[in-house]
Each structure stands twice: as C-alpha cells, then as structure tokens.
Structure 1
C-alpha cells in the first residue's frame, strides 16, 4: 500500500496579462514544496481520495478534485500579492483511507504551526478528519487553544459506521475529543432534513451539535446566519472551516456525490466564508466532494475556487496568528 506525501504537482497554469503587480493571478504566486523555505502567506495540500465516498455508498470520482480546484483557481485575479505554497498531494491508494488521513494530518500540522491558513483540497469529505488530526497535533491546540469546527454541509457526517468513510469524520473528531476529556465544538450550517436520518439528529443532539437547516439559510435568513456564525466565532480561538460543496444548490454545484435539491445560496455561503476569514481565527479550511467526472461546465470547480479565493484573500488581510 503506497501513501504519497508531497507528491509533485503540475505547475499552475492560467491566463497572463503581462508583468506588473496589478495583473496578478493565482498561478503567478504559487510555488511547490521545493520552495517551502521561502516566506508564504497561505498553503495548499491536496487529498486525492474517494475511498471514503465509496465506503459511504456514494459516487466515486472525488480523487480528481484537487487537480480540478487548482485549475479553476489558477486564473482568478489577485487584488494584491499573496504568496502561496503548494505542499503537494496525499494520495490514497489500495483502499487504505486510514493511513491517508494520518499522512494528511502529518502534512497539515507543521503548516498550521506557521500561523497562516491552510487549505486542504479534497477529495471526499473524509479529508476533514485528516485535517483535524493535523490541528490536534499543532502547537496552539496542544497549548490549550479552543478549537471550533464549522461545517458548511447538507449532512451531519456523524455516521456510526464500522469503518471510517466520508460520512463519519465529525463523529471521529468528537470521539477523539472525548478521549481527551473535551467536548467538540461542532456546528453545521445547511443541514437538509430529508438527507439526515432521525438517528443522525439524535447523535447530533447527544453531542451538543448546533446547526441551521438549509431552509433557514436563505437570503431572508441572513440575520439568523450571521448570529449563528458570530456565536460560533465568539466561542473558539482557532477555526476549522469545512466546506462540503453539496451544501450549494445543485444548479451551482452539480459535480458532487449527492447534489442538493434545495441547498444554501452561494451568496450566503460566501458571506459565511468571508466572516470566518476576517475573524483572524482560521487555521484550516477543507473543500470537499468535488467530483470532476460529474461536473457540468466546471461549475462546481469554479464555485469551490471562488470560495477558496474569498477565504484566503480575506484571511491574509488580517494579522498573522501567533
């Protein structure tokens, strides 16, 4: 079983409008792991996995997500210079998801210690547990910083299954925190009631999970969403923001394992991302469930890239953590 960390990634390619700091695009400002000793403002790690989706009886293909997200992000214009490090991909092969999650944690932890935001490019939502493993081993969390996990998702992903999958990452986190004598501060925005069994709602209640349903997250519910996010940010020191692209309506994100019949509008999701970025507390953001094989006109990849762009351009504008 081969698990690869820092797999070389193809050079970022995109439109070029000529020299000058006022003509920058993402592909101009990203370098690979060979340049990681130079200063950087944000980092990317890819997680090439759809093993968790397969185990969760979903539609495989999310292993192609990291490449599609990079391609969609590459030509987006930068408002100011932003140095980004691409630390390569963790590739899950031979079905060994658990080893892949551990390797992802080993890659994420040292990057978090640098005090700048890390974006994990999924991959299935099983990436979230690997991101958490990296946060759990970071200096800030080991020193007692309060970790908050905000999941933008149609699903709780609290399944009590015999083996880890894309449906289990947040229950895995909760159990790890319980073993350390802590309660996971886990909140979800965008829950689809028809897509979650009563057992999952009971599990969420037992764990003290706070959530907003998708029907409460429309434009008319913006005040409610802002209160929800403000309360979350007020209770933590570090944020793990997890974006499952199936939180968006199917028209905006068709290329996912489970497209949303209702979903949360892009305007709301982007507003939440901007608020978290501006808090100065963002440590890790994972973007999950993009399946390029199911995408239409690159819509889902473009939506994910725009959210990453919004998160990072907002986060690097605030003072460095630590």
Structure 2
C-alpha cells in the first residue's frame, strides 16, 4: 500500500531550530519505522453510515484530520508514523474492516501504539478485530517450561479489554434480521465486539459516555443493562456530577488489562462539532470530556506502559464542517492522546 504523505504540510520556523518543529516535519511513512512509536492509520469509509441511514461524507475524514494535525506544534519524544488509509470504495465494508484489523494487529505486534482516523463509527469493529486478533495470538503462547513438541500450549488468562466510548449513541444495534454479522453498520460495532468476546470466552467491558436519550431507544438501554455496560447520559456529564462519574470510570479502568478508547465526535455539541453525521442538539462540553480523558490517558499497566492499545476518532464529516472547526477538534484530541500514550 502506497502512503500519501502530501497532507503533512505546514508552517516552518527554521530560526527556532529543533524546538520550533511541527507535526508535518516529524511524521514519517510507516515503511521507515525502525523503532517503537505511534502508528497512524486511516479508515476512509462511508458505507457503515450509509447502511445506518445517516448522512455520508466521513470518507474524507482521515486526510482532513491529518491536514489539521500537520501544523500543530511538536511536543513529543517518540516517533510517529503514517501507515496510510484503508479505503472502502466498493461497498464491501466487511473486507475493509478486516483489512483495518490486520493493520492494527500488525502495528501492535511491532509494539506501536495505534491511532485510527475514521470514517464512520463502523471503524470501531475494524479496530476491535485488530485488538482481538493481537491478544488472541498473545494469549496462545507456548509453554516456556516444555521441551516436548507434543506438549499442549499454555493458555494465558482471558484478557480484559475495556472499551471506552465517548458517544451520543450506544452503537449496540443488532444487525438486520436474516443478515447477521455480514450486514454491520456504524450502529453495530459494539454488538459485534460483544459477540467476539462471547466467542472467545472473554469478559465484555464497555463504557459509553455522553449518550443522548432522545437518540437511543428503550431497546438499546435494555440491551446495555443486560450486557453490564457502564453508561452515562449527556445530562449527567456535568461539573455537578463529575466526581461520581470519574470515580465510576476509574473503577472500570482498574478492572481492565487493556483499554480501547474511541471518540465519536457527535458526542460534542453541534456548535463545537458541526461536521459530523448526526449533530448533537445538546452534547457534552469539551472541558468535561477532557476531565474524563485524564484518568483514561493516565492509566498504566504493571510495566508502566499506557493501558491504551488503540484510540480512534470517528464520524468526522468534512462535508458539513464549518471553517475546519471539527477537524481542529479531532486534531487536538489526537495530539492529546498521542502525547499521553507515548
């Protein structure tokens, strides 16, 4: 896959030397990756939103987010690589998600942290497949004490992967009757992740923060309760309730071996994020989301590494953006996440 580095352009301040660098001067193509860092992947896809009867345009998001990120100041120590885009041009969403999963899994095996720019929120099922496949391979390790070929491989305990989703929607929909998994959409990724965990005998740990009750049916709330989902409506994500929410979120994080952070930009108010598939009439203020991101980004495993394996940004729709406002928001989030996980 050829990698288009042309979006990485911006201002240069040579008079300031190395301290004056910006992202576009530091990001390298993935084929030059020779040490651990952050791998950026793009998922250019509208198919899931189209199937979910939403307004399309998210296909152009990965390039637009790169352009907004390119000119931001460089405050990082480890390298960042661009692994290019998976493009869904033929309506075959399942193949595109599979290919994204392969790229995510490969980057994790190379010990990179991964940031994915979607695309609709169907990106999440591609991302989760990558995490799942990486951990399945990691779980099936040969018994180090055995020198016999016929020994059964030892099986590590089932990993607990915590999915933390900032979103106005659960995205827990069942695929259409009679189609099962082959007809996923931007509304089904966490149903598909739950099914994956069930098949692997893994716990399903899902937190969804910022829900609009007007946009989620009673059936979805009932399903979330059955699955043991930690969820908070947008009306509860206020300064008045922040301490209680942060405590519940910290408990969730402490119960997880790994984290997958996914941010659907429609969680923010339409005035802050107009360029999304489904603009929020209310939404969650940016400063509240920032406060809740702090414990997620600070979470470390026993080796002192970030618990976050992958983060992705979903549902940015350049077609409906105003003055690149939502692109700048996505870039700011990517900048913040990158600085924390490496």
Query: What band does the TM-score fall into relative to the shorter chain?
Result: over 0.9
Equivalenced residues, count: 311
Structure 2 matches for 1:274-289, cutoff 5 A?
274-279=294-299, 280-289=306-315
Decide whether the 8 Å contact of 1:51 with 1:165 is kept in 2: yes
Matched, 1:16 2:12: yes
Matched, 1:125 2:147: no
The alpha-carbon distance between structure 1 residues 140 and 16, as it changes in their structure 2 partners (threshold 3 A), is farther
Which shifted more, 10-19 or 199-208? Answer: 10-19
Match of 1:226 among 246, 257, 277: 246
Task: Please state whether the residue corresponding to 1:220 is helix, strand or coil.
Answer: coil
Decide whether the 8 Å contact of 2:109 with 2:134 is kept in 1: yes
Task: Please state whether the residue corresponding to 2:187 is helix, strand or coil.
Answer: coil
Which shifted more, 44-53 or 158-167? Answer: 158-167
Task: Please state whether the residue corresponding to 1:174 is helix, strand or coil.
Answer: helix
Q: Which residue of 2 aligns with 1:269?
A: 289
Q: Which residue of 2 aligns with 1:27?
A: 24
Query: Displacement of 1:218 after TM fit?
Result: 1.7
Task: Please state whether the residue corresponding to 2:252 is helix, strand or coil.
Answer: helix
Structure 2 matches for 1:56-205, cutoff 5 A?
56-139=52-135, 142-143=138-139, 144-162=158-176, 163-205=183-225
For 1:292 and 1:52, how far apart are their aligned partners in 2?
16
Which shifted more, 123-132 or 11-20? Answer: 11-20
Decide whether the 8 Å contact of 1:21 with 1:80 is kept in 2: no
For 2:289 and 2:99, how far apart are their aligned partners in 1?
29
Query: Displacement of 1:7 after TM fit?
Result: 4.6
Q: Which residue of 1 aligns with 2:275?
A: 255
Query: Displacement of 1:247 after TM fit?
Result: 0.5
Task: Please state whether the residue corresponding to 1:258 is helix, strand or coil.
Answer: coil
Query: Displacement of 1:6 after TM fit?
Result: 5.3
Matched, 1:307 2:304: no
TM-score, with length taken from structure 2? 0.87
The alpha-carbon distance between structure 1 residues 94 and 249, as it changes in their structure 2 partners (threshold 3 A), is same
Q: Which residue of 1 aligns with 2:264?
A: 244
Task: Please state whether the residue corresponding to 2:241 is helix, strand or coil.
Answer: helix
Task: Please state whether the residue corresponding to 2:127 is helix, strand or coil.
Answer: helix
Q: Which residue of 1 aligns with 2:324?
A: 298
The alpha-carbon distance between structure 1 residues 78 and 274, as it changes in their structure 2 partners (threshold 3 A), is farther
Query: Displacement of 1:100 after TM fit?
Result: 0.3
Unaligned runs of 5+ in 2: 140-157, 177-182, 300-305
Which shifted more, 101-110 or 38-47? Answer: 38-47
The alpha-carbon distance between structure 1 residues 298 and 205, as it changes in their structure 2 partners (threshold 3 A), is same
| Post-superposition CA distance 1:130-189 (Å, at most 9, x none) | 000100111477424321100000000011122100000000010111112223101101
Q: Of the two, which has the highest radius of gyration? A: 2
Task: Please state whether the residue corresponding to 2:50 is helix, strand or coil.
Answer: helix
Decide whether the 8 Å contact of 1:124 with 1:166 is kept in 2: yes
Task: Please state whether the residue corresponding to 1:137 is helix, strand or coil.
Answer: helix
For 2:212 and 2:23, how far apart are their aligned partners in 1?
34
Query: Displacement of 1:115 after TM fit?
Result: 3.2
The alpha-carbon distance between structure 1 residues 211 and 139, as it changes in their structure 2 partners (threshold 3 A), is closer
Query: Displacement of 1:207 after TM fit?
Result: 1.1
Unaligned runs of 5+ in 1: 317-322
